Amino acid sequence: MLRNTFSMEHFRHRLAHSEALPQMVVLGILCGLLCGGVLGAFRFLLEYPLSQLLPGNESENFEGLSHWFHFFLPVIGSLLLIAILSRVTPLNRKVGVTHMMERMAYHQSKLPLVNAIMQFLVATTALIFGHSVGKEGPAIHLGAACGSQLGQRLNLPNNTLRILAGCGTAAGIAATFNTPLAGVVFAMEVVLLEYTVIGFMPVMVSAATGALVVQFMFGSELVLTVPSMHIESLREIPYVAFLGGIIGLLAVMFIYLMRETMKWSDHSVLTYRSKLIIAGLFTGCCAVFYPQVMGVGYDTVAAALQGQIGLGLLIGILIAKCILTPVVLGLGVPAGLIGPTFFIGAVAGGMLGILGAGAVDEDVAHSGFYALLGMGSMMGAVTNAPMAALVAILELTGNPNIIFPAMISIVISNLIARYVFKMPSIFVTSMQLQGMDYRYRPLTQVLNSSAVQSLMTTHFVKSDPIISCQGASNALEGNPDWIMISHNDENILLSPGDLHSMVRASTHPQQDIDMLKMPALRLDTKPIETNATLQQALDQMTAEGVEALCVVDNQANVIGLLYRDQIEAYYRQS
């Protein structure tokens, strides 16, 4: 008869170690299932009402509405957003990728459930009513929140929450675009900022599982249907590089305009209600002339890829979208920007493809080919995720011929944004405006990968301050690492070697020893929870001015000891 040896406590203890790969893979699968279900519901609640209300039962056909609807829909959407957001506190209004990165950098990847629910509601509302935003940013937040909440509900060590948030990020992108590999690369490149086996494998299985769940719900068709295209001649390479430079300039303008709008918004006397009304009015005014800017706009992207939009309309849509989207996002419309960067890149690339074809007499690649390059270049430059952008367009096309020209345009657009104009990614820019940073130094990465349980010593003896020589001899029999003295609700560590010397110098077995007054090495301690990471422990030691910590369980019982020398030795060996 087989005995069930699974123990949740043992499972948590294994996860405290940085090499708990099998356990993390299991959690990655669970995270993918959860994310797939949530994002499937998000997609359904977004697409079903639009497919029923918009002309032709097409969920993105805002163009088929009358001018009155083009103007008033975003305004009504802003009013509904105000009604929703007014129900919660300012802290619970924080949503999106920037909020997710803030929680990962400063709150041990603990994403609140309330903020995730708000993201679900406000993003759905903004997109249904035609605001010029995307659904990918909300999907990333929702996915990361699913992963974080899974870890929090299971009371897992904090070192696993960061990877679970990365798993959710990958599953969110995979479920939105049906591009699991791009989700993996984005999570590692933008969110986790590292490529390690312990992070890579659970993120992979989470992305694959999330994509599988959404495919089961909606089918395996890609979000964008891209025709098979390729470069006609190597003579087009200089023009591909030129496209990368132009897209890089557009990315710089996008980031700059959104940053300046956010600065103005933060320092203005307007309330968030007024800003959302302004965003709705601005969107409505633009949509009267160019309704293509409303909503996600994948129908317009598909048309640009097929070469079905004329040059004049492309120019108008490009100008409207490049100005509208960063402004409304800077004003606080709570949705995403990755989709709009795809939109802008596709329109700009399609425009440059038409201009390039008209400038030469020989055969050149289809304008949709340049639209595709523009998509990847714009996303890569704005988000500082060149590899994720390359993989995304490769998965969307299934065409390896796109790799070489895409690498050129994406690299150049990123060079223009990062090194010529010194523009960080839009997510880092948003965090910097709030006085935050999102860089992970090598020491931080190593110490955040393990929890205190993985390093603590359990070989210690508890004792009262006053002990007899005989009692001290008994306590020293097991050669403990430390003697823990409880005094006035404080725990003080005593060196066993010093106590041993005191016992040897004693002349009577019943003589009492005051371990708080005898000459010895003593360390003051502070308590720390079992879920804490080694980085948290080191930070607490520095803040509290102590050299050791007592690891306590949920009942405040001391189950282990951790001291600074252990952490420093762990880092040197890593």
Instruction: Kindly tell me if the per-residue pLDDT of 203 is higher than 80.
Output: yes
Measured between alpha carbons, how far is 184 from 208 in angstroms, rounded to an integer?
9
Domain ranges of the chain: 8-226, 234-433, 446-573
Q: Do domains 8-226 and 234-433 have the same CATH topology?
A: yes
Which of 47-51, 150-154, 470-474, 540-544 shows the lowest per-residue confidence on average (mean pLDDT)? 470-474
Higher-confidence residue: 242 or 554?
A: 242
Query: For tokens 């993996």, what's the residue?
Result: 184
Instruction: Kindly tell me if the per-residue pLDDT of 4 is higher than 60.
Output: no
Top CATH class of 446-573 equals: alpha beta
Higher-confidence residue: 177 or 277?
A: 277
Q: Please report which confidence band the pLDDT of residue 6 belongs to, taking 50, 70 and 90 as the band edges.
A: low
50-75 pLDDT per residue, tens = 999 999 888 889 999 999 999 999 99
Instruction: Kindly tell me if the per-residue pLDDT of 373 is higher than 90.
Output: yes
With H, G, I as helix, E, B as strand and everything else as coil, classify residue 363. Answer: coil
Higher-confidence residue: 173 or 512?
A: 173
pLDDT of residue 3: 47
With H, G, I as helix, E, B as strand and everything else as coil, classify residue 346. Answer: helix
213-226 pLDDT per residue, tens = 999 999 877 767 67
**Residue range 383-390: average pLDDT?**
93
For residues 135 and 295, the answer to whether their CB atoms sit within 8 Å is: no
pLDDT of residue 1: 38
pLDDT of residue 360: 62
Token code pair at residue 236: 């087009």
Task: Provide the CB-side half-sphere exposure for 252 (13 A, CA).
Answer: 18
Helix (H), strand (E) at residue 481: none
Hey, CA dihedral for 363, 365, 370, 373, is it positive or negative? negative
Measured between alpha carbons, how far is 568 from 370 in angstroms, rounded to an integer?
52
**Residue range 501-511: average pLDDT?**
78
Q: Please report which confidence band the pLDDT of residue 2 belongs to, taking 50, 70 and 90 as the band edges.
A: very low
**Residue range 545-559: average pLDDT?**
91
Instruction: Kindly tell me if the per-residue pLDDT of 28 is higher than 70.
Output: yes
pLDDT of residue 320: 96
Token code pair at residue 19: 């090499």
Measured between alpha carbons, how far is 514 from 430 in angstroms, rounded to an integer?
57
Q: Could you write out the DSSP letters of every residue in 10-70?
A: HHHHHHTSTT-HHHHHHHHHHHHHHHHHHHHHHHHHHHHHHHHHSGGG-TT-GGGS-HHHH
* Total Cβ atoms within 10 A of residue 368: 22
pLDDT of residue 472: 87
Region for residue 488 given its phi and psi (left: phi exceeds 0; alpha: psi -120 to 50; beta: otherwise): left
Instruction: Kindly tell me if the per-residue pLDDT of 76 is higher than 90.
Output: yes
Strand pairing class (482-487; 512-514) = unpaired
Token code pair at residue 350: 């399609």
Measured between alpha carbons, how far is 413 from 292 in angstroms, rounded to an integer?
25
pLDDT of residue 19: 79
- Please report which residue ranges of 178-271 form alpha helices under DSSP H: 180-186, 197-218, 237-267
**Residue range 356-366: average pLDDT?**
69
With H, G, I as helix, E, B as strand and everything else as coil, classify residue 224. Answer: coil
Domain 234-433: assigned CATH number? 1.10.3080.10
Token code pair at residue 399: 């065409």
Which of 163-177, 427-441, 464-478, 524-538 shows the lowest per-residue confidence on average (mean pLDDT)? 427-441
Higher-confidence residue: 6 or 126?
A: 126
For residues 334 and 96, the answer to whether their CB atoms sit within 8 Å is: yes
Could you tell me what percent of the chain has a pLDDT over 70? 96
Instruction: Kindly tell me if the per-residue pLDDT of 456 is higher than 90.
Output: yes
Token code pair at residue 386: 């060149």
Q: What is the mean pLDDT of the chain?
A: 90
Query: For tokens 């409304």, what's the residue?
Result: 328
pLDDT of residue 513: 87
Could you please state the CATH topology (level 3) that the domain comprising 8-226 is classified under.
Clc chloride channel (1.10.3080)
Instruction: Kindly tell me if the per-residue pLDDT of 117 is higher than 90.
Output: yes
**Residue range 492-520: average pLDDT?**
85
122-159 pLDDT per residue, tens = 999 999 999 999 999 999 999 999 999 999 999 999 98
Instruction: Kindly tell me if the per-residue pLDDT of 507 is higher than 70.
Output: no
Burial of 9 (0-12, 13-18, 19+ CB in 10 A): exposed
Which of 394-403, 460-469, 476-485, 543-552 shows the lowest per-residue confidence on average (mean pLDDT)? 394-403
Measured between alpha carbons, how far is 61 from 297 in angstroms, rounded to an integer?
9
